[in-house]
């Protein structure tokens, strides 16, 4: 079969379902960090906050299952989002030139980044300042100081990175596009798809993690973040190639079980490394080995998600439309109600699991209500990529 004719002409439902699954996990993921300290959030549970305030590092805080949940998701789920975005870039460039593509990226990435940083991240930062005792006034009194020493783009880092990746990779994408299916890059990709080596790029992701993660553990600031930058750029470019070469997607589905075994084994090996040896920060043999396992696990688990997604996430219809509508609002807005709920429940006396569940429920409920209401406000609806509501005129 000619590859050009095999390229999908319609939107792939499983990509939308995978995207929705990732952003749906963000609220429970960030809520779990609040109780375990296994990452950076704005409001922590009191024991975690006290350790951080004293300059310490939280270790074995909170339920073990929440810790493993955060470590497992952190290993791979945002990489999947970059891979899906790369496939989307391939589809987008089929009907746009370079300038139109960058214009679309500005509207879909930079505009939500600007609005979300000003009105969502600033609110979260204020709650964080209240929690740590760095500020005691209201939000509007705090807002000017957000730009004076408190500025950050928080969880919206994905939008900034994706825009930079799109701009950096565009010359390569356009060069491939000009040659079409005759491109040497695509020819090599097609040959690789026909061989049992679809999992070999795991060595590349493992190499990147071992090389960069010990020195750059993850600042999310674009300019001093080489592990996250190089790894996610690799997934983004790989996604673009998958969008151009359908044989790659077919091979991933075929080898989904092997990918899952590879990813799960490497993840367990990473965890096991910390169990059998002291793993200090920085460049040392133990840390580089652990990070290499992390990179291999990331590739295996992402490919497994793609393969099983193609196999089973084929549902169309109304629910898929709802998932598409909720995806961007969930990504941008989930953190604000989650942080507010976590802050308000700090001294409630409720158990960790109850507070975690309430915070997640508050986040999801707020986003669902917001998405439903703003469907009728065109300007807001367009920013969040929500469909125009269908108004029925048939009285029957």
Q: What is the pLDDT of residues 207-227, one digit of tens each?
A: 999 999 999 998 899 989 999
pLDDT of 356: 98
Domain ranges across the chain: 21-38+58-74+318-396
pLDDT of residue 11: 79
Q: What is the pLDDT of residue 179?
A: 87
| pLDDT at site 6 | 53
Q: Which residue has the tokens 């992402």?
A: 302
CA 381, 385, 386, 390 dihedral sign is positive
What local confidence, expressed as pLDDT, does residue 7 receive?
59
Q: Which of 200, 373, 223, 389 is nearest to 299 (CA)?
A: 200
| pLDDT value of position 204 | 97
Of 105, 86, 90, 88, give the one whose Cα is nearest residue 163: 105
Low-confidence ranges of the chain (pLDDT < 70): 1-10, 390-396
Using DSSP's 3-state secondary structure scheme, residue 40 falls into coil
Residue 387, class by beta-carbon neighbours within 10 Å (0-12 exposed, 13-18 middle, 19+ buried)? exposed
Burial call 69-88: b when 16+ CB within 10 Å, e when fewer: bbbbbbbbbbbbbbbbbbbb
The pLDDT assigned to 1 comes to 41
Nearest to 252 by CA among 209, 288, 303: 303
DSSP state of 13: H
Look at residue 198 in the predicted model and tell me its pLDDT. Answer: 84
Distance CA 144, CA 360 (A): 29
Q: Cα separation of 384 and 382, whole Å?
A: 5
pLDDT score for 390: 64
């Amino acid at each position: 079969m000619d590859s050009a004719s095999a390229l999908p002409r319609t939107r792939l439902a499983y990509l939308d379902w995978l995207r929705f699954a990732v952003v749906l996990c963000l609220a429970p993921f960030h809520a779990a960090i609040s109780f375990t300290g296994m990452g950076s959030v704005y409001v922590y549970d009191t024991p975690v906050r006290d350790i951080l305030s004293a300059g310490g590092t939280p270790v074995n805080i909170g339920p073990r299952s929440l810790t493993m949940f955060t470590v497992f998701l952190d290993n791979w789920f945002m990489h999947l989002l970059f891979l899906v975005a790369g496939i989307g870039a391939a589809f987008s460039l089929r009907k746009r030139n370079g300038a139109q593509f960058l214009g679309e990226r500005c509207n879909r990435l930079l505009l939500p980044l600007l609005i979300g940083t000003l009105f969502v991240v600033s609110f979260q930062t204020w709650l964080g300042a209240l929690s740590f005792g760095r500020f005691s006034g209201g939000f509007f009194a705090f807002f000017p100081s957000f730009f004076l020493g408190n500025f950050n783009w928080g969880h919206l880092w994905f939008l900034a990175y994706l825009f930079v990746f799109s701009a950096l990779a565009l010359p390569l994408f356009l060069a491939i596009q000009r040659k079409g299916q005759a491109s040497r890059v695509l020819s090599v990709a097609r040959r690789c798809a026909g061989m049992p080596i679809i999992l070999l790029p795991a060595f590349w992701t493992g190499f990147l993690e071992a090389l960069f993660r010990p020195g750059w553990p993850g600042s999310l600031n674009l300019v001093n973040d080489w592990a996250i930058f190089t790894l996610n750029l690799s997934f983004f470019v790989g996604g673009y190639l998958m969008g151009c070469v359908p044989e790659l997607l077919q091979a991933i589905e075929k080898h989904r079980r092997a990918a899952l075994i590879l990813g799960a084994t490497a993840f367990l090996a990473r965890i096991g490394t910390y169990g059998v040896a002291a793993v200090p920060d920085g460049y040392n043999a133990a840390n580089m080995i652990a990070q290499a396992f992390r990179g291999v696990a990331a590739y295996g688990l992402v490919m497994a998600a793609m393969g099983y997604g193609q196999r089973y996430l084929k549902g169309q219809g109304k629910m898929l439309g709802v998932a598409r509508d909720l995806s961007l609002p969930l990504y941008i807005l989930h953190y604000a109600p989650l942080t507010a709920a976590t802050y308000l429940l700090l001294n409630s006396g409720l158990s960790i699991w109850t507070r975690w569940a309430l915070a997640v429920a508050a986040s999801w409920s707020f986003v669902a209500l917001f998405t439903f209401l703003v469907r009728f406000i065109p300007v807001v609806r367009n920013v969040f990529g929500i469909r125009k509501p269908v108004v029925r005129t048939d009285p029957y």
